[in-house]
Amino acid sequence: MTVQAEYSPDADRIMSVSLGPQHPGAGHFRIKLWLDGDYVVRSEPDAGYVHRGEEKMGEYRNYIQNVPHLERPVILDSSNILFPYALGVDELMNLKVPQRGQYLRVIMSEANRIISHMYFIAIQGLFLGHTTLITWCMGDRDFWIDFAERIGGARVTFAYIIPGGVRNDIPPGAIKKGLETCDWFDKRMDEYEKIFFQNPMVHQRSDGIGVLSRDDAIAFGATGTVARASGLAVDVRKDEPYSAYEDFEFKTPVMTQGDVYARSYVALLDMRESVKIIRQALKKLPQGPVRLKLGPQPRVPAGEVYSRTEAARGEMSYYIVSDGSPRPYRLKIGVPSAKNLGVLPHLLRNVHVADIPPIYWGLNYWPVESDR
């Protein structure tokens, strides 16, 4: 891409445009754009249209009451936003979660990763003009939602991963059904590769678009699929194995191009690893209890904890400060969308207007998650 337009506030030809917050793809999010004809010369993200004060709410509720409302910011990935919260409270209370509970946490977390990535790839297909992919992915996604529903009892917000373990045991039928879904999904992903990822049209629309270098990924604190597409192999599951992740064989997919194509393809490779993990976990699920009984208002000793896990979009972290009272004194949710927000104005410079949707969506940015 060789666009040489420079931003100058005085130039008559520069036009400022608001993209959103009612844009059908962007959702509750606005991007302020400064355009020179068809070229974006500068941009500024404007978040906050769905800010609901989750952190303040957390200070008014006790550690168990916090479970259901904390997963609302990211309903596609609802187990993964609870996971580090549960790990943090476990650590503060010094709980030893039973091994079966740890395995079920991993299974639910990986199922949510697939559910989230399927949505991501579906909409990326839509933005790149590939209507088949959105219908396929949205349809196939439901089989994973069915699997999660068998375990968690709900289709979207499960409140499944809780301090002390998981809410309930897995029903026997779900194990067999889950293994069947894994086998079927492996074949299905081969078809996604053929129809979308090896499609010359898709390559033309996404190769070399919105390139983020590895150094910039480190400097901006990029995480998740965005970082891994730029050659930065960050994966909390590998870097700092939590729950039972050290028991499973899987790889961290990394690509080096750092463009829109790589960011989409890394999500597919991620799902392949998730299927591997779910299959191993279902096969060697240990016997025993799945949770420790904490009661409705557990006593959490005073202390501070910084816990993190790998959610679908990247590193999800919680900073919990307890003063010994039944409620957290401070509950900071470090969400991956907010961590990747700074990358957006860096990439939306010197690009065509037509490339805004794939670049924006390629960051896997979820406004509700970022706003909290």
Partner 1 sequence: MRARAFAARITEKFPDVKVDWMKERRLKVSTTADRIAEVGVFAKEGLGFDHISTVSGIDWIAKNELEVVYFIGSTTPGQEDFVLALSEHVQRSNPVVPTLMHVWRGVEYHERETHEMFGINFQGHPNQNHLYLPEDWNDLPPLRKDYVSPGR
Choice from 218, 289, 299, 301 touching partner 1 (CB under 8 A): 218
Let me know: does 297 contact 62? Beta carbons within 8 Å. yes
Nearest in space to 92 (alpha carbons), one of 305, 317, 299: 305
Nearest in space to 264 (alpha carbons), one of 203, 220, 328, 190: 203
Rule CB under 8 A: is residue 315 a binding residue for partner 1? yes
Reported as half-sphere exposure (CB side, CA atoms, 13 A), residue 266 has a value of: 31
Q: Which stretch binds partner 1 (CB under 8 A): 15-23, 192-200, 292-300, 330-338?
A: 330-338
The letter for the amino acid at 129 is: G
Question: Helix, strand or coil for residue 242?
Answer: coil
Q: Looking at beta carbons only, is 143 or 306 nearer to partner 1?
A: 306
> Site mask, partner 1, residues 220-259, x = CB under 8 A?
xxx---------x-x----xx-------------------
**Least distance CB 77 / partner 1 (angstroms):** 17
Rule CB under 8 A: is residue 190 a binding residue for partner 1? no
**Least distance CB 60 / partner 1 (angstroms):** 6
Choice from 195, 211, 321, 353 touching partner 1 (CB under 8 A): 321
Choice from 14, 35, 57, 211 touching partner 1 (CB under 8 A): 57
The DSSP H or E segment spanning 34 is: strand 30-36
Rule CB under 8 A: is residue 13 a binding residue for partner 1? no
Q: Looking at beta carbons only, is 154 or 218 nearer to partner 1?
A: 218
Q: 370: which residues sit within 8 A by CB, 6+ positions away?
A: 47, 335, 337, 338, 341
Gap between the Cα atoms of 330 and 279, Å rounded: 38
Choice from 342, 350, 352, 353 touching partner 1 (CB under 8 A): 342
Q: Looking at beta carbons only, is 47 or 290 nearer to partner 1?
A: 47
Q: Looking at beta carbons only, is 140 or 310 nearer to partner 1?
A: 310
Angle, helices 260-283/172-192, rounded to nearest 10 degrees: 150
Q: Looking at beta carbons only, is 288 or 301 nearer to partner 1?
A: 301
Phi, psi of 137 (to 5 degrees): -65, -40
Choice from 112, 317, 322, 364 touching partner 1 (CB under 8 A): 317
Nearest in space to 223 (alpha carbons), one of 79, 365, 371: 365
Phi, psi of 17 (to 5 degrees): -135, 145
**Least distance CB 52 / partner 1 (angstroms):** 10
Q: 29: which residues sit within 8 A by CB, 6+ positions away?
A: 20, 21, 23, 45, 46, 47, 49, 365, 367
Q: Looking at beta carbons only, is 74 or 128 nearer to partner 1?
A: 74
Choice from 21, 48, 68, 326 touching partner 1 (CB under 8 A): 48
Rounded to 10 degrees, what is the CA torsion of 350, 7, 218, 117?
A: -50
Choice from 306, 326, 327, 352 touching partner 1 (CB under 8 A): 306
Q: Which residues bind partner 1 (CB under 8 A)?
A: 46-48, 51, 53, 55-57, 60, 218-222, 232, 234, 239-240, 304, 306, 308, 315, 317, 319, 321, 329-330, 332, 334, 338-339, 341-342, 371-372
